[in-house]
Structure 1
Amino acid sequence: MERERKIKRKSLSKKRATEKTQRKTKALDSQTSSQVNLRVAVSQMNFVVGDFEYNVNRIENCLKDATKFGADLILFPELALTGYPPEDLLLKDDFIAKNKKFLKHLALSVKGIVAVVGYVEKVKKSLYNSAALLHKGKVVGNYRKMILPNYGVFDEKRYFIEGNEPTCFVMNGIKIGLSICEDIWEVNGPGQKVCEEGQADVLINISSSPYFKGKGKTRENMIRQRARQYKAHVVYANLIGGQDELVFDGHSLVVAPDGTFLAKGNAFEEEMIYADLKIYPKTKKQNLKKLINSSIRTYHVPAILNNKRKPVIIKRRVRKMESIEEVFEALVLGTRDYIKKNDFGKAAIGLSGGIDSALTAVIAVKAIGSENVVGITMPSNYSSRGSIDDSEALAKNLGIRIISLPIKEAMLAYDKILSKVFKNLPSDTTEENLQARIRGNLMMALSNKMGWLVLTTGNKSEFSVGYCTLYGDMAGGFAVIKDVP
């Protein structure tokens, strides 16, 4: 009798468990059978390494704009709070402390929207390249970059520890996966796990991906491929701006699961990009057991999507560039930011009448305006009339100031000083290099006295084979065309 009662209780317990699972599945089906609209905003901004006040101010302004425009979610680039790449500033404790302080301050500005912001996370003595999830004045979650690049211009393993936990968050039944820059370039990276095993409907990627010729097209193809592979929307937020010899081109993207572009950011321009995602949350009834045992960290954000009437997203003009224009715009942005972020007012360029100095001058004028560019001619006994005339014509065409500093007397002074040592020795490249070094001295004297940044004019071929003069035409603060392909 007792045995029969046990069997009956066990059967009843199984029946209740089955009914509970069926109710759960039915609830999930009802949630996923209807379309959910999610308005996302991508802040494609130019941040300054180490300038927390400036960066936070820019982020707060973008938050206000996105909230007014009815965005539910806004993304900011990788390490937006600190600027990218912070490099050895990461070794300073006060820098890390400021980063934490400003993140908490920034969180207070997040109201009526969910924000994802790149920052540096410190755990004991370890640093992580992380994404903070901000909502209702608090940091409600974070994700640690799992794949750290350590090649080419990247040396992130010098500073950061790799994260080990794929992460997503849920808002209004929509599951959103988090990733940072390099994470998405690896086909089997964390994005695959959160989208396939974790059933994420959207994969977001905050990035600081530097430019090289053709990078935009390469990136577009990769993001489209990931959207199709993961069967998820992909929202990609990239940095723009110059930092030393790196240029970040923006070109942010929003892509549908079938690879269709829903929105694109312009290259080399700051802008806010909006897109409405029409999402049918993925059915989880076949994956309940898998999700329960999943190693994916999941945050639940109690955000209610803004269903009020929203401003219409006007179709933006995205400028298509040929490769030459693209490279030119990258040089302009890199030059402008190097000059401005290092607090120089004007730039000085030695004009020779040749193509390289002419191109450098054109780039500088486009970057900071003709009123802030000064051309310097330094003719010698060996200078042709044509080179002088061409330099003057260039300055006139560009509307820049020109200063002439003939070096004949300086050359004679050097000849006199060296005459005893060089007695009976034939003239050779030594005398030619003296010209370049005299000019380099004059350019740096103007820089020291006037506070101008000297832009050198050597091209990639010259630097590659050493066809330049040490302490001569290599003297200066920024080599504008040294890496032009």
Structure 2
Amino acid sequence: MKFAIAQLNPTIGDLAHNAQQVLDAARQADQLGAQVLVTTELVLCGYPPRDLLLRPGFIQAMAQTLDRLAADLPHHLAVLVGFAAANPKARYDGEKPLFNSTALLQGGQVQQVFHKQLLPTYDVFDEHRYFAAGQGPSSFTVPLGDWGLRVGVTICEDLWNDEEFWGGRSYTRNPIADLVAEGVDVVVNLSASPYSVNKAQLRASMLAHSATRFRCPILYVNQVGANDDLIFDGTSMAFNRQGDLVARLPAYQAGLTVVDYDPIARDLHSGEIAPLPTDENEAIWSALVLGVRDYTHKCGFKRAVIGLSGGIDSALVAAIAAAALGPTNVLGILMPSPYSSDHSVTDALALAKALGIAHQTLAIGPLMADYDQVLDPLFAGTSPGVAEENIQSRIRGNLLMAVSNKFGHLLLSTGNKSEMAVGYCTLYGDMNGGLAVIADLPKTRVYALCQWLNQQVGLGRNSAGTLALGALAKGSEGPVAGHGTSPPTLIPANILTKPPSAELKLGQVDQDSLPPYDVLDDILDRLVQRHESVADIVAAGHDAAIVDRVIGLVSRAEFKRRQAPPVLKVTDRAFGMGWRMPIANRWTSEAKLLPLAK
């Protein structure tokens, strides 16, 4: 028999469109001779639906859409569809009102409903807010001649509790072990697992371990696309009883494949195995391009506007936007001030030419003078400082928002994770925007990604065949903006080599205010990502005074991060919905216990 797995890209709340995707996949699976089609977690409403789940009308409409979908599907095909089901016990027993569920649709009806058993409440997940835990094991039978194939059904987190793989359990139950004990022949998993660096490899290792341990084939189907700050890479996979990878769908794009099950061998045959990105930078680039594309289109925008400073951050964001939306749909705005260096302007112009994007220059010197005049009575007798510097950033932010409002362009903010962590950014200035594209990339990764990007263009590569880098580089043949006769590039060489600077005063560079970025980023990684103590960070070779200063900056900048645009998440610890630090907070270092006042 044949299993079809459909890696779909739902839009949250668009029930009709999401149902149509399932229907289209079912018709394709039927044409390919499949008996069972597996889709993704909560595919009918899109994941994560968050507080839409608190609206009774939304849940009712989802149930009605599910019934209509069941009637429209090929009647002989068994289709597993993720949706949110009402919990009839909630009113009486104090349980949550919903289940995170999977419906088995066949013969024009909902035949069975299975509920997710393990509900994650960590990082970006908050499923206990909405869902009651299901009770298992959950399975159904596919008739095959004189006998039936028993298919065990799990949903995302249900797979992530193998104590042998993780070295311990996060939950008391292991749904896979329970299903195997019940004698299922195959386990399927409907998932919506967000992307982060190297997570695809982690999932593959976990699935291979479970398949080998329990001698049971596993088909894993993951959502693809981006919803708000979360990016889903897809990378759906199938493993045979020996733990061998037998099928894989491409990362970062929707698709469907069919995997054969041999009832005599009681195992899966080898099918199509799509290659994965082999370089971390390629994977991150692909994820961010997908994130910008889906956020823009799902929010109803067609074009983007970006402030081009001639620096590395805005250069990378512009390149991502051009790849995601097409160069003709990106507008770069140059806003030089009296403190802007000549190379900032020429570098920004060279970048715009290399990317093939439109650009406009709006000089802000006269506006700065107007602000000085208006504020002079109040600021008289004081020395110029950060307040005056930030006025420049806020002027630029206002101009960019004016362009966004006037033409309906999405403003993409360009700050990186290092700046966001320590507050080296200006509220209502460079933090303005509808999406923070690289705010989960440390500055050192920004440089690495730009260098990788130039290498791909120099080699004439398109990076996984989906990013059209060649089209972006059409204007970059030969020397770029007087930077010599180096190979074709997208990011001008001077942007990669000059010291980073906000250029808000004469001669300013970032390292006037911050430690070198390689030092800062390592401290931040240990503090934010690994939760290391001050003693551990110092023991790793960092100066104690610098560590204390960085920790203080991170704590004091929380109010800024709370007002930032959504941050595209590419690490396990992003400044987004999974980061829940208090703003009014006096814990900045190791506890210093003082005697209480008498």
Normalised to the residue count of structure 1, the TM-score between the two structures is 0.84
- 1:254 alignment partner, one of 235, 238, 243: 238
Q: Partner residue of 2:277? A: 320
- 2:159 alignment partner, one of 184, 205, 230: 184
Is the 2:161–2:174 Cα contact (8 Å) retained in structure 1? Answer: yes
Which whole-Å CA distance do the structure 1 matches of 2:151 and 2:113 have between them?
Answer: 13
**Equivalent position amino acid for 2:30 in 1:** T
Q: Output one character per residue of 1:426-480: Cα deviation in whole Å (capped at 9) or x when no partner.
A: 1112111110000001111111111111100000000001000111100111000
Q: Report the secondary structure of 1:193's partner residue.
A: helix
Which ranges in structure 2 are unaligned for 5 or more consecutive residues?
91-96, 163-172, 443-598
Is the 1:121–1:127 Cα contact (8 Å) retained in structure 2? Answer: yes
**Equivalent position amino acid for 1:62 in 2:** A
Which whole-Å CA distance do the structure 2 matches of 1:147 and 1:41 have between them?
Answer: 25
Q: Report the secondary structure of 2:84's partner residue.
A: strand
Q: Does residue 447 of structure 1 match 2:404?
A: yes
**Equivalent position amino acid for 1:441 in 2:** N
The structural deviation recorded for 1:316 is 5.4
Is the 2:191–2:221 Cα contact (8 Å) retained in structure 1? Answer: yes
Distance change (3 Å), C-alpha of 1:208 and 1:315: closer
Normalized per residue, the structure richer in strand is 1
The structural deviation recorded for 1:320 is 3.4
Q: Does residue 392 of structure 1 match 2:367?
A: no
Which whole-Å CA distance do the structure 2 matches of 1:240 and 1:470 have between them?
Answer: 33
- 1:275 alignment partner, one of 247, 253, 259: 259
Q: Partner residue of 1:70? A: 33
- 2:128 alignment partner, one of 142, 154, 157: 157
The structural deviation recorded for 1:171 is 1.2
Normalised to the residue count of structure 2, the TM-score between the two structures is 0.69
Which whole-Å CA distance do the structure 2 matches of 1:320 and 1:443 have between them?
Answer: 35
Is the 1:460–1:484 Cα contact (8 Å) retained in structure 2? Answer: yes
Q: Does residue 123 of structure 1 match 2:87?
A: yes
Which whole-Å CA distance do the structure 1 matches of 2:270 and 2:19 have between them?
Answer: 26
The structural deviation recorded for 1:317 is 4.0
The structural deviation recorded for 1:321 is 2.8
Which whole-Å CA distance do the structure 1 matches of 2:437 and 2:355 have between them?
Answer: 18
Which whole-Å CA distance do the structure 2 matches of 1:395 and 1:184 have between them?
Answer: 46
Is the 2:418–2:441 Cα contact (8 Å) retained in structure 1? Answer: no
Q: Does residue 467 of structure 1 match 2:399?
A: no
Which whole-Å CA distance do the structure 1 matches of 2:217 and 2:113 have between them?
Answer: 20
- 1:207 alignment partner, one of 182, 185, 191: 191
Q: Does residue 235 of structure 1 match 2:219?
A: yes
Aligned pair count?
Answer: 418
**Equivalent position amino acid for 1:177 in 2:** G
Q: Report the secondary structure of 1:421's partner residue.
A: helix
Q: Output one character per residue of 1:68-96: Cα deviation in whole Å (capped at 9) or x when no partner.
A: 00011110000000000000100111100
Which whole-Å CA distance do the structure 2 matches of 1:328 and 1:225 have between them?
Answer: 29
Q: Output one character per residue of 1:374-409: Cα deviation in whole Å (capped at 9) or x when no partner.
A: 000011111111000011111111111101111111
Q: Output one character per residue of 1:108-147: Cα deviation in whole Å (capped at 9) or x when no partner.
A: 1232211101001003342000000111111110111000
Which whole-Å CA distance do the structure 2 matches of 1:165 and 1:176 have between them?
Answer: 13
Sequence identity of aligned pairs in percent? 42
Q: Partner residue of 1:114? A: 78
Q: Report the secondary structure of 1:338's partner residue.
A: helix
Is the 1:174–1:281 Cα contact (8 Å) retained in structure 2? Answer: no
Is the 1:40–1:73 Cα contact (8 Å) retained in structure 2? Answer: yes
The structural deviation recorded for 1:318 is 2.4
**Equivalent position amino acid for 1:484 in 2:** L
Moved more, 182-191 or 411-420: 182-191
Q: Report the secondary structure of 1:237's partner residue.
A: strand
Which whole-Å CA distance do the structure 2 matches of 1:454 and 1:480 have between them?
Answer: 10
Which whole-Å CA distance do the structure 1 matches of 2:3 and 2:271 have between them?
Answer: 14
Is the 1:175–1:281 Cα contact (8 Å) retained in structure 2? Answer: no
Is the 2:415–2:430 Cα contact (8 Å) retained in structure 1? Answer: yes
Cα-Cα RMSD: 1.4
Higher relative contact order (CA 8 A, sep 6+): 1
- 1:428 alignment partner, one of 361, 367, 385: 385
